[in-house]
Structure 1
């Protein structure tokens, strides 16, 4: 497969790391606990009755219960407690910013204790070591209802699984060739290693009653109008697939690329040594995608990686923990700098970028009049994602009420259109986390189920 950065040297040619070192750079960021470590860590939990960690968990996992079950040696019980609340609990244990969620709220999170209970690693321990004789979830009796789910990402998969448990038949329409969404294509490789994302989806589908049709992109070869006619309800778990532009001339020049496109390539490759690597690169953005992109380029062997943000570090949406990961990998953070001009060489390829210096004023961000040029072989844009423009262009989809580009929903995840629900990143901004998308899908499934039952009783 050709790639827009194929003119760059490969990681093998850059030669910063050999094969084993490259593999090591993309092994688990946080190695899993051993059985002994898990038992010792589980004993630190106070099993609080009104546990603040549960309140802080977007998917409402009963944290004290599953940790107590680990301590008692009941791994299957712990896993079931987790999965009943969050069917993607294994991936969430790997990618959730637990440092600002459950672990931040842990009652042991104070100076005398040094650190909170390692809830994320304990959750991973339980879901990694579960060994059920049969599938732990059983479907209810068939209802005869058939629901369409658009998108096989965390929100769509969670919704489909819960609907299947409730006895409904589900068909998922997925644009890509594999399920998993962000977990499969968009998470840093050192956070979600090997083929875990695939295995987790396979486990989820074992409940039965769920079919996936691949290569089905809303607005291209399937429309919302068609789905409303064919199915009893529709859930939209679209995610945000289109990268935002800088609105600069030459920003699409050779050597300039959306960070999510490179991360997708990185996650799908079998040979890290063959990936194109920019010895000097710039990453523009302030979120987790920007951090992931910068850190991974450094781990591939780039000698200079500069992450640039137009405000200060404290305003970055990436957590302090994520920022420290980037710094530990040698990423340079340049703040108070706004993209101003893409610099090109004689062949029309990226040679760097000019940034306008900024400062905070009472009315907002202002330019100082100063500029700084940074040489680079490639520029990666990570300034956020939006809807792919054609997703909601058919006559029916165009009628959906929106808040900006996000789909408007009520408290039950129903859109402005009867029988159509939505959740995950495509609805009004929240935490934009995998765990939140899972919760949206689960709650939307229950709302769909209740609406269908009410419709049946009224008939």
Structure 2
């Protein structure tokens, strides 16, 4: 063990530069041409492809794999991007083992699916490397749409609207565009600033303006957007971080942090050595954010990292693959434990007291027995919430925006998609599908209004 790992408390520079480079290298290196063609040849090219049905963006998987098998990587990329303009990122972060690859006939028959995600990355990376653009902006319609949020849903919506000829302005409160893809994905999944490279690729269609540092509810209101634009699409994500709510204690203690903020800080750090991490780290939660935070804490040099989840392994939102990845990196996962008290000394975290839990008649209850885990850093990964200060005439259900099957909210002229709506599963690929489909709905509404105005003018003329 290196001398750096033995540093007490929360410290930076625990590892050597070489170790940081190894730890944060690409999780799944790009397939070369031979590997891609060998893998593509494993596909049965099913007529009634279950993999395609399992994809939230309904990419024609057999088609793009056949194109790869014949050496047509750019054609494969076009097939992918036609349905999912963020296909490159989705190839890296989608839980394919629970979506297309789980449905693969080879998975069912042999337990070894075609590597659909890696083949998708092979094709989309080829298109981006060649700067091959497949889609052009449509003839200008004279309509202007506001997209609030430059994450996956917002970018997908803006790109499809540009294809239909509408002018788009994206407003985002952060210093950089990209949303979850830029700030919320584990660094080892998207190295080499891929999120920004893909952003540039998407915006190259033209007709899309991005205004950063502009937050809904602070810098402008929905009423103002409605007056300036012909339609509005909300892709604002979930900005609030849920509290632990342990014994009514205040959470302003050194070492108790948001896992989302930790992941974002690590993503934006040019040098991993400057990011401080504890020697003993506890992550509270059972989703992808918890896994990403825990694995990266270990990769930064934490000596002991433990995930504590209040329910059982089968209830975790993180996929079995991600749980196995965490275990392979030395992360311990403890189940049936709920936080009860943050242990502290002189304003600093020293550990976490947890209570054992169980399900009684379907309800989670504590059983009265407790245990403690020593820690100098605790990350909260127990979900996020919607900030509702801006919600002027938009119905909120269960803490998220209510939308219909086309993404329309209860307010006329306003659509929504992504993590902020009540019709999703918090996946990047689902957000892309919702943004794309909402754009088509917006286009139909704007064009119907235009045609109605034209018909009215003729009738009055």
Partner of 2:445: 451
SS in 2 for 1:289: helix
- The aligned residue for residue 200 of structure 2 is 202
Do the aligned residues in 2 keep the contact of 1:250 with 1:342 (CA within 8 Å)? no
Spell out the pairing of 1:209-358 with structure 2 (5 A cutoff): 209-248=207-246, 249-345=249-345, 347-358=346-357
Q: Could you report, residue by residue, the CA deviation over 1:235-285 in whole angstroms, capped at 9, with x for unpaired residues?
A: 000111211111130322111000000100000001111110100011000
Question: 1:97 is matched with which residue?
Answer: 95
Say yes or no: does 1:10 pair with 2:8.
Answer: no
Provide the alpha-carbon RMSD of the alignment.
1.3
Residue 152 of structure 2 is aligned to residue 168 of structure 1: no
Contact 2:283 2:381 in 1 (8 A): yes
In structure 2, what is the equivalent of residue 374 of structure 1? 373
Q: Contact 2:10–2:376 at 8 Å: present in 1 too?
A: no
**Conserved? CA contact 1:90–1:200, under 8 Å:** yes
Kept in 2, the 8 Å contact 1:26–1:189? The answer is: yes
Look up the match of 1:106.
104
**Cα distance in 2 between the residues matched to 1:406 and 1:37:** 43
Counterpart pick for 1:31 among 16, 23, 29: 29
SS of 2:106's partner is coil
Distance 2:100 2:278 in 1: 37
- The residue number in structure 1 matching 2:412 is 418
Please list every run of 5 or more consecutive structure 1 residues that lacks an aligned counterpart in the other structure. 1-6
Local SS of the residue matching 1:108? helix
Deviation at residue 133 of structure 1 after TM alignment: 6.9
1:173–1:212: 8 Å Cα contact kept in structure 2?
A: yes
SS at match of 1:208: coil
Say whether the 8 Å CA contact 2:131–2:201 is kept in structure 1: no
Give the Cα separation in 1 of the matches to 2:387 and 2:273: 32
Which stretch shows the higher mean deviation, 401-410 or 85-94?
A: 401-410
- 1:359, CA displacement in angstroms? 1.3
CA contact (8 A) 1:282 1:305 kept: yes
TM-score by length of 2: 0.94
Q: Does 1:402 align with 2:396?
A: yes
Q: Report what 1:154 is aligned to.
A: 152
- Of the three residues 122, 129, 134, the one matched with 2:126 is 129
Structure 1 counterpart of 2:436: 442
- Aligned residue pairs total 443
Is 2:20–2:272's contact at 8 Å kept on the other side of the alignment? Answer: yes
TM-score (norm 1): 0.94
- State how far apart, in whole Å, the 1-side matches of 2:11 and 2:117 are: 35
How many angstroms apart in 1 are the aligned matches of 2:80 and 2:238?
27
CA shift for structure 1 position 134: 5.3
